A and B are shown apart, each in its own frame.
Chain A
Amino acid sequence: MSHAPQHLDPARYTWGGDEFLFVEISESMSLAANFKANAMATRLVARAIDGMVDICPANASLLLRFDPDVVLPDELEALVREVEEEVAHLSEQTLETRIIEIPVWYDDPYTRETGARFRKGHQRPDGTDLDFAAEENGLSSPEEFIRKHHESPWLVSMVGFVAGLPFMFQIVPQEDQLEVPKYLSPRTDTPPLTVGHGGCFACIYSVRGAGGYQMFGIAAAPIFDPAQKLADFSDFMIFFRPGDIVKFKPVDEAEYRAIQAEVDAGTFTYRQAPVTFDLQKALTDPSAHNRDILEKLNGI
């Protein structure tokens, strides 16, 4: 059994014009590359470098925006390389984070209807996105795909594209990753809170709009709340942070409606618990790692 690569070469540094430094940790996705991107981002935030405008960790890379009137590009690069060195010599590769249960109505009528509208030109014009995903992964049925989708937790490896949209990478060995190609031609419409999938990444669309990921279901509660009405959003209008761990929980229509009623009443809160993400443990024994962190949700 092969695990995701644990050894990472030094990152590649390149400029995105005179205001952005791009650090490619690895060309391919892995838990190790994402851990390094987030570890570097955390340390860069702590350093509070004058002239640093945005620190954006992504799946296997890091995008930094700076003000070259305040910090010279070469000076900034030297500081970031220093942080990369620090991270390379970490004795412990752990992240204090949280696990969150996200209720999802799989195979729901909203994404089904939208999928039906964009069937022309789809890889599988006569079925659903779930039918296609099951076949692509050699699974017997959409139900089997749904089970694999929610039984193992996912790491939020990046937040972005649009406001608050989480990209998630499942904490399983590479050969067990669910991989599904994106739409051949992107849709012009996606229902808000659609649970999507493209390549090896899951996502939850935070707002209605264009999208190219296959659609499997709909999350029952908001993840972006500009009005900050719900308690989970009292600090910030965006729920997810890189490093969060997500456990999808399948719900049926009645449960979905009940959650929606709680959201409307302003009483809904996500079930969540603090956990430690341990990179080595997740790589060497993902089942035990996942069992341990999932147990933390049970006491809630």
Chain B
Amino acid sequence: MAFDILEPGLATSVQDQGRFGHYNVGIPQGGAMDQLSASMANALVGNTPGDAVLECAYLGPRFTTDADAVIAVTGAPVEVRVNGTPMTEWSRLTLAAGDEVSFGMLSGGTRYYIAVQGGVDVPEILGSRSTYALGALGGLQGRTLKAGDTVPVGAPSGSLPTMDEIPEVLRPVYAKEVTIRIMPGLYDHRLTAEGMETLLSAAWKLTPVADRTGLRYAGPDLEWKPRTQPFGAGSDPSNIVDAGYAIGSIQVPGGKEPIVLHRDAVSGGGYAMVATVISADMDVVARSAPGTLTYFEPVTMEQALAARADAAKVRRAVWG
């Protein structure tokens, strides 16, 4: 079976949990930006956590199904419609062959996910179905969806679970103000003490320059320690000899507008990173809409690992 795409939406792509083990040659992990929401959609339709879903950014697609199907939509708050009738998000929906699915406007956040029982069945490339558009790799022909596309759906792998909606208490929130926990490190010693203090105390506003590669925040300038640049590092104090970029790392080119690299990160470059978003808060960054006021809170490795364990508890509550 398949979905026939009538309108593609702004940047709808096939994503799963990601493509690991090829970052050393510049292929990023990719995968759903908001992993928890994508995973919850899969849980509702009886998939495994590794099945591929459609990730929709802002403006969703309009499509019909060519056979009966079971779907769920989770993530940023949006009106879901089947044949024009409003349906609920975060719950299992049953479609009959020929039904048309469409979406209204977002009322918060940025991305939502459509899971279908059986999963989106594009070929696995290097162990993942995720779309890496820059490398024209994975997903549907290595790109975001276009009108006229046929999105293949796999055969159901198991039966439907008892749970037919995600309890409200487990659903992520889409706030206009967020605190993101970070671990200072990498090249943080290159900032002045005031520069680091500014990073940790300012209210950073997410700019519209935010996509799967990275998100740029507006706020005060950060001051770098002056130095004689090492050979090969470039002339600006924020430059380093090109190095690998951690996913979630924060770089501050020229001391202006910090950038948080996300799941389609460029794997390396010549800008000093001064901290890294902890793994448990990468989804929180992904859910932030432009304009979101963001505070960066420093934590230790122990605190980061405790937060990671807490996030795992939420996943267990969904998957059992």
Contact = CB atoms under 8 A, between A and B. Distances in A.
B231 A16 contact: no
B277 A17 contact: yes
Interface in A37-92: 41, 53-63, 65, 68-69, 73
A226 B26 contact: no
A16 B276 contact: yes
Contacts of A63: 23, 243-246, 268
Interface residues of B, number: 51
A241 B25 CA distance: 8
A57 B269 CA distance: 13
B243 to A, nearest CB: 4
B247 A20 contact: yes
A29 B231 contact: yes
Contact of B232 (A29, A62, A68): A29
Contact of A18 (B137, B233, B243, B305): B305
Contacts of B24: 41, 54-57, 159-160, 242
B266 A161 contact: yes
A16 B232 contact: no
Interface size class of A (residues with CB under 8 A): 35 or more
Interface stretch (A94-102, A142-150, A199-207): A199-207
* Residue of A16, A22, A59 most packed against chain B (CB within 10 A): A16
Contacts of B230: 26-29
A236 B185 CA distance: 34
A29, A158, A160, most chain B CB atoms within 10 A: A160
Interface stretch (A127-135, A163-171, A267-275): A163-171
Given A57-B24, A163-B25, A207-B134, A182 B234 contact: yes
Contacts of A221: none
Interface in B268-310: 268-270, 273, 276-279, 301, 304-305, 308
B231 A17 contact: no
B317 to A, nearest CB: 17
A199 B270 CA distance: 10
A106 interface: no
Contacts of B53: none
Contacts of A73: 301, 305
A240 B212 CA distance: 25
B284 to A, nearest CB: 13
Interface in B131-147: 132, 134-137, 142
Interface of B: 20-27, 125, 132, 134-137, 142, 182-183, 185-186, 230-235, 239-249, 266-270, 273, 276-279, 301, 304-305, 308, 312
Interface of A: 14-20, 22, 24, 26-30, 41, 53-63, 65, 68-69, 73, 158-165, 167, 169, 174, 181-182, 198-201, 206-207, 209, 224, 226, 237-238, 240-242
Given A16-B185, A160-B24, 13 more contacts: A15-B183, A17-B183, A28-B233, A29-B232, A30-B231, A61-B241, A63-B23, A68-B308, A158-B268, A161-B242, A206-B135, A226-B142, A238-B25
17 contacts: A15-B183, A16-B276, A18-B278, A18-B301, A26-B230, A29-B241, A59-B241, A60-B232, A62-B244, A63-B245, A63-B246, A65-B20, A161-B26, A182-B234, A199-B234, A207-B134, A238-B27
